[in-house]
Amino acid sequence: MNNAQNTAMPPATAAEIANEFLSLAVDDGLQSTMDQMKLQKLTFYAHAWYLAYNNRPLIENDFEAWPWGPVVRSIYVQTKGFGDRPVDTLLSEFKQSETGFSQVFPTGVSDDLKPFIKNVWDVLKSLSGIQLSNSTHAQGEPWTIVNEQQGTDQKPVISNSLIANIFKKKLEAGD
């Protein structure tokens, strides 16, 4: 993975990152491969590598240890109805303004993040959701460590510090 620019941008939202991956899938004619599992795992790997390179989170949302790997609950809530079918709609989020909350559909990420997300996509786009999920279950991965320590019944948070430590080690090892 290539290094992202280390500027003082605030974290993105899960919907922004997910929608960027959905857009890239359409651009590459791979939208039929973008099920909810693949979307979750791409978002996780983007977040993990961003933490390793930049020492700060890519997204403001927490990842939780669910039975099939790391999950952002807000992505799950919006994509669970797709089952194993391709996700074919943008995700939404609620934004607060002076007049209250409104639902918005972010179209992707800032221009500063686009090259980083595109790089993650280019490296992982050929893998299925199941393949990506299996890779999150490998020995020494953040999900595996949390699962071994706490299980997944309560869907515990996978801390950014754990994710960062593991992916920084991968970076140092050249993985």
Digit-coded pLDDT (tens) for 25-70? 999 999 999 999 999 999 999 999 999 999 999 999 999 999 999 9
- The C-alpha atoms of residue 22 and residue 149 are separated, in whole angstroms, by 33
- Name which residue leads in pLDDT, 10 or 123: 123
Tokens in use for 79? 């994509």
- The C-alpha atoms of residue 133 and residue 146 are separated, in whole angstroms, by 15
Mean pLDDT over the full length of the chain? 90
pLDDT-derived band at 10 (thresholds 50, 70, 90) equals low
pLDDT-derived band at 5 (thresholds 50, 70, 90) equals very low
- The C-alpha atoms of residue 151 and residue 148 are separated, in whole angstroms, by 6
5 is a domain residue: no
- Write down the pLDDT at residue 157: 98
137 is a domain residue: yes
- Write down the pLDDT at residue 6: 45
The fraction of the chain above a pLDDT of 90, given in percent, is: 77
CA-based max dimension of the chain: 50
155 is a domain residue: yes
* Residue whose pair of structure tokens reads 């993990």 in the numeric block: 48
Q: Report phi then psi at 50, rounded to 5.
A: -65, -45
Per DSSP, 13 falls in state: P
8 is a domain residue: no
- Write down the pLDDT at residue 81: 94
Torsion of the alpha carbons at 133, 137, 140 and 146, rounded to the nearest 10: 100
First to last CA, the chain: 9
2 is a domain residue: no
> In Å, what is the CA distance from 14 to each residue of 5, 44, 48, 114?
19, 10, 13, 14
- Write down the pLDDT at residue 2: 52
Task: Give yes or no for residue 167 having a pLDDT over 80.
Answer: yes
Residue 159: which domain range? 14-173
Task: Give yes or no for residue 116 having a pLDDT over 90.
Answer: yes
H or E stretch covering 104: strand 100-104
4 is a domain residue: no
pTM: 0.90
Domain count within the chain: 1
